[in-house]
Amino acid sequence: MAGGGLTGLSAAVFLAWHGVQSVVVERHADLPRRPASRAVNPRTMEVLRQVGLEHAVMRHGDARTKNPMSPCTAVSIAQDRFEGILRDRAEALGAMVCFGTELRSFDASADSVTATVVDDDGEYTVEADGSDDLGFPVLLGRRGRPRWQCRAAARPAPRTAR
């Protein structure tokens, strides 16, 4: 996935939950600080419950009124905190989340996706081929250092309880 915001990180969580390995590349060196509150509706909370995130989001957010049509409560949560929760879960489920890495180009076929990514150390070509037992991702070629390594973002300091 190109982009380590709410959409890319959510996609990584749900794909990993279903056993699909994925890589998220984000050109920024870290998660952006977005202290603005984000409303998470009850249906989204139901889906987050399925992947083990309901309690984490509730713990870091503010519960809203309960909807009688849902077993879950809507939550208001700071976007940067929500993205951090998604990133942690995606990585825990096996997704690679790479910060400071930009997608330069990609080519998709029926069998694989080949992406060219760039970080401060050079340009690398990575192939995702689900039919091989070589692992994921496979480094095909490079310009720069001899080996591409995913650069993780720094973890934010924990917030104190309210």
Q: Is residue 58 part of a domain?
A: yes
Q: Is residue 32 part of a domain?
A: yes
Residues 6+ away with beta carbon under 8 Å from 69: 42
Q: Is residue 161 part of a domain?
A: no
Q: Is residue 154 part of a domain?
A: no
pLDDT in the model for residue 143: 43
- Determine the 3-state secondary structure of 48 from DSSP: helix
pTM listed for this prediction: 0.77
Q: Is residue 138 part of a domain?
A: yes
Which phi and psi angles does 86 have, rounded to 5°?
Answer: -65, -45
| Distance set, CA 37 to CA 41, 63, 83, 95, 158 (Å) | 13, 12, 12, 26, 17
Number of domains in the chain: 1
CATH number at residue 123: 3.50.50.60
Q: Is residue 19 part of a domain?
A: yes
Q: Which domain does 37 fall in, by range?
A: 6-144
Tens of pLDDT along the chain (162 residues) come to: 888 989 999 999 999 999 888 888 888 888 877 677 889 999 999 999 999 999 999 999 999 878 889 999 999 999 999 999 999 999 999 998 888 888 888 887 777 777 788 877 776 666 565 544 444 444 444 444 334 455 544 444 444 443
